[in-house]
């Protein structure tokens, strides 16, 4: 017998949630085949079969387990069943199953047609709506079915499965356990509200020059660097410049001391099916615009596929949150402890403002509201306002980023 134990997702994590078993008790598995997905408060980790053999489930799905706990065994001395050829395709095939009813139970082996790979949220949504995942084309990395792929899909468009939707006028109530990630997000947000003297200052930026640069150079930029030219690269660059001018926005409060950092590790909030995650760009002070865009693309793709490591989501010194992608016009972002400041981006809207080139006249400009939430224990109001004005100036005059002023 070969033991299957809970691996450690990261140094600070001691407990995880065991996801749905992809194979039922007694079923044959290949070495390195996906058995389960472990959900921690920071990342999702795949549990792979350490050997080929017959699976013996020890712990049922959905339970809280300590790192190192024995959750299954594989009988590597069992005879390989006919037709179970050890091919590369078989090793990585993902089969959707219902959670085992109890440890060692052979029930719950129903499979979604086609063995579609899907995120946890997408699997749950499919089960609730009676959608066969095998009929849904995934838009995620490697064809992974995401929540967005199921929007607007009904059970009638899928395999003939009984509908689970409630009848008109239903007053049913249901509860579901919060994921560890959601619990951690909630815990940190409440911590920030209770411990920091948090204030928010607002400003607005004319995005005309950034939009002009993107429109004029986006094709040449992508051809030269192999990555698209987005808005976030300009914001990261503007924040790096401001953080170097106002170092307390890049500092932590540790007891009665202020811990300064001579580097800028900027976290960029990314919404995923599992909730909000904040991958960190390291040493952004030494990155070019192309470097920033490449790293952002890589982190965002892996974030949405649940492939980020714990190390990639910890240790940031400043955070940028972009509510504008969801249509937010204005908000007050909450600090990400122990950081002392966070910048909120919002939707770009054309508004009538005074023309900066012709005093006393009005022009229609693409404007964005900016919000800086900060810990008033470390940062004074004048510093916070100065920081945001500096970011605004960098966006309205992007040549400053190239000149380093």
Q: How far apart are CA 195 and CA 139, in angstroms?
A: 41
Cβ–Cβ < 8 Å for 64, 17: yes
DSSP-assigned letters across all residues of 154-207: -GGGSSS----PPPTT-------PPPHHHHHHHHHHHHHHHHS-EEEEEEEEE-
Cα 2 to Cα 54, 98, 318, distances in angstroms: 10, 24, 44
Given 3, 311, 355, 380, the catalytic residue: 380
Q: How far apart are CA 13 and CA 6, in angstroms?
A: 11
Active site residue 380: yes
Give the rounded distance of the alpha carbon of 60 from its chain centre. Answer: 27
Active site residue 217: no
Cβ–Cβ < 8 Å for 79, 116: no
Give the rounded distance of the alpha carbon of 78 from its chain centre. Answer: 40
Q: How far apart are CA 135 and CA 46, in angstroms?
A: 24
The count of other CB atoms within 10 Å of the CB of residue 219 is: 11
Given 25, 39, 376, 390, the catalytic residue: 376
Cα 343–Cα 348–Cα 351 angle in degrees, nearest 5:
120
E strands within 284-357?
A: 318-322, 341-345, 348-354
Give the rounded distance of the alpha carbon of 137 from its chain centre. Answer: 21
Cβ–Cβ < 8 Å for 366, 207: yes
Contacts of 362 (CB under 8 A, 6+ apart): 352, 353, 354, 355
Q: Point out the residues that are catalytic.
A: 376, 380
């Amino acid at each position: 017998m070969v033991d299957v134990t809970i691996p450690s997702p990261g140094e600070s994590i001691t407990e995880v949630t065991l996801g749905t078993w992809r194979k039922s008790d007694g079923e044959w598995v290949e070495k390195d085949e996906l058995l389960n997905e472990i959900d921690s408060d920071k990342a999702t980790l795949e549990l792979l079969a350490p050997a080929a053999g017959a699976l013996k489930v020890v712990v049922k799905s959905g339970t809280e387990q300590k790192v190192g706990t024995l959750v299954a065994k594989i009988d590597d001395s069992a005879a390989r069943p006919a037709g179970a050829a050890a091919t590369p395709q078989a090793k990585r095939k993902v089969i959707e199953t219902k959670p085992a009813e109890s440890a060692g139970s052979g029930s719950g082996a129903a499979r979604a047609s086609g063995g579609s790979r899907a995120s946890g949220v997408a699997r749950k949504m499919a089960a609730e709506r009676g959608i066969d995942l095998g009929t849904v084309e995934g838009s995620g990395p490697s064809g992974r079915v995401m929540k967005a792929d199921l929007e607007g899909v009904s059970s009638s468009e899928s395999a003939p499965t009984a509908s689970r939707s409630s009848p008109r006028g239903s007053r049913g109530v249901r509860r579901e356990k919060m994921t560890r990630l959601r619990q951690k997000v909630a815990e940190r947000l409440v911590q920030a509200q209770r411990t920091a003297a948090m204030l928010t200052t607002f400003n607005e930026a004319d995005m005309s020059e950034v939009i002009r640069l993107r429109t004029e150079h986006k094709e040449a930029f992508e051809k030269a660097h192999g990555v698209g030219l987005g808005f976030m690269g300009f914001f990261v660059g503007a924040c790096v410049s401001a953080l170097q001018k106002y170092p307390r926005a890049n500092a932590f409060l540790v007891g009665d001391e202020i811990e300064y950092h001579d580097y800028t590790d900027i976290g960029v909030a990314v919404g995923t099916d599992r909730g909000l995650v904040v991958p960190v760009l390291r040493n952004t002070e030494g990155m070019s615009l192309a470097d920033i865009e490449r790293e952002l693309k890589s982190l965002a793709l892996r974030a949405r596929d649940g492939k980020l490591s714990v190390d990639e989501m910890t240790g940031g010194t400043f955070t940028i949150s972009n509510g504008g992608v969801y249509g937010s016009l204005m908000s007050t972002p909450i600090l990400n402890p122990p950081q002392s400041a966070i910048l909120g981006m919002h939707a770009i809207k054309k508004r009538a403002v005074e023309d900066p080139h012709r005093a006393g006249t009005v022009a229609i400009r693409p404007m964005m509201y900016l919000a800086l939430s900060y810990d008033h224990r470390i940062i004074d109001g004048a510093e916070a306002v100065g920081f945001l004005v500096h970011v605004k100036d960098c966006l309205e005059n992007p040549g400053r980023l190239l000149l380093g002023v």
